[in-house]
Amino acid sequence: MDNPVKNTMNKDRQPRFTVIIPTKDRAEYLKHTLRTCALQDYDNLEILVSDDGSTDQTREVVEEAGRKDPRIRYVTPGGCVGMRDNFEFALDQVKPGFVIAMGGDDGILPYGVSRLADFLLETGLELAAWPAPMFSYAKARMETGQLVLHRPRKSRIVESSIFLARQVETLNYIADIESPMFYVKGVASTRLVDQVRRRSPEGRFYVCPTPDGYSGIVLAGEVERFAFSGEAYTIYGTSPTSQGLGYLANDQEAKKRSDDFFKHVSAVPMHPELAGQPYSPLITVMTVDYLLTARDLPGWPGRFPEISMSRMLEKSLAELAHGLYGGDRVLRELRILDQIAGKHGLRDEFRRMVQSTRRFAAKSPFEGDGISSDRVFIDCTRYGIHDLFDAAYAAYCLGNLAEKATPGSIARAFAGSVAYRLRSLRKGEPFPGPASWSEGEQGVD
């Protein structure tokens, strides 16, 4: 059967892309995000910044960027509707084509959209993911700024059934580099988005408390396979205003931001099998909520094995013990997990788990230059990478270098350098004798 998206792209090698940026009070960082968007060499592109009642200079920043680049547009749902509804409103404004969602401190790598269009044209698929690098502003996670790059990977086609089964096994959607969530690290056709909406209550796409990881799970279930590109097109940004950091931090300002966030997300309870509890930021719990919510959509074609609630409790407790959560945050999550355990007749087992588990000492993220098995850490402060725009260029250039600097290319470069040096040291013919160039001896007065 012909792929309608591939047929359309063959007729129009510049399909429409829309980048939605739901945001609130991030003007200081949003200006750098929009600089990465204005950098794109792709015409059929719209950047929609959806402002959820910001009290800073967000509107002025967007409108100034829009005067310089008409692809950038300011929209607002009016008032303070909360993150989930702001994402839904922004998605409502998208015209047919492909869509990517980003936060107000994320960005697009140089030539990102045009390179992504080429990749989609090559694969003919409607859903794709890639390994987005991560940039942290100084003072966000640590004193210095940091850029994290993934090691080079090969592009491939991913079977959705294998991906979904892996979510049940790992219960860690955010660590799965192949996750096709179209928040920063993926792209989806609007046809697939509309397909999910037709299955969902009230015609919404975002039905879980938070909007990021759900998109990858629910959309993977709509297709038999999707594409994974070894090449990155976008970049995550982390600023002091990022929601996840607000919950992990223990200072009063961070607690205030996270409390405001919880007021909105708590209005949407998690799945009934999670005891209808309010939103939990534990990755394990969120993964289960996304899986169960997608499973219950009428006619959703995705399939995955049964989820072990006992294992979910065990992994959640291990996550809670890793030393990044403050004491009062730990108590909140333990209460939520205890209610979930009670729902499944596992309360005694869970409480035994709690009694036998020891928390790790409080710890901070890795700081400075470093290398792990699959990532490279760069101290941005040391190398003069000050903001997301700088980081986007650095990630693009370093990514190209890493991809092309294979052992073979390095060996060829070394051999070429040695050969050139040897040629330059080789003795040639002597100078011609004086008879061929002397005009005779000149007297001196």
Domain CATH for 46: 3.90.550.10
**Is residue 408 domain-resident?**
no
H or E stretch including 188? strand 186-189
Give residue 7's pLDDT.
46
Place of tokens 């409790």: 313
Partnered with residue 10 across adjacent β-strands are none
**Is residue 378 domain-resident?**
no
The pairing of beta strand 146-150 with beta strand 375-379: antiparallel
**Is residue 343 domain-resident?**
no
> Distance between CA atoms of 106 and 183, rounded to whole angstroms?
10
H or E stretch including 158? strand 156-159
**Is residue 81 domain-resident?**
yes
Give residue 202's pLDDT.
87
The domain tally of the chain equals: 1
Parts of the chain with a pLDDT under 70 = 1-12, 243-264, 266, 323-324, 326, 361-363, 405-406, 409, 440-445
Give residue 4's pLDDT.
47
- Residue by residue, DSSP assigns 32-75 as HHHHHHHT---SSEEEEEEESS-SSSHHHHHHHHHHH-TTEEEE
* Residues 83 and 59: beta-carbon distance below 8 Å: no
Give residue 146's pLDDT.
94
**Is residue 323 domain-resident?**
no
**Is residue 195 domain-resident?**
yes
**Is residue 393 domain-resident?**
yes
Q: Which domain holds residue 40?
A: 4-257+298-304+383-400
- Residue by residue, DSSP assigns 76-140 as --SS---HHHHHHHHHHTPPSSEEEE--TT-EE-TTHHHHHHHHHHHH--SEEE----EEE-TTT
Give residue 262's pLDDT.
65
**Is residue 89 domain-resident?**
yes
Sheet harboring 234-238: ordered strands across? 107-108, 234-238, 134-136, 146-150, 375-379, 370-371
Give residue 415's pLDDT.
82
Mind spelling out the 3-state secondary structure of 73-86? Answer: EEECCCCCCCHHHH
Label residue 202 left, alpha or beta by phi (over 0 means left) and psi (-120 to 50 means alpha).
left
> Distance between CA atoms of 168 and 288, rounded to whole angstroms?
8
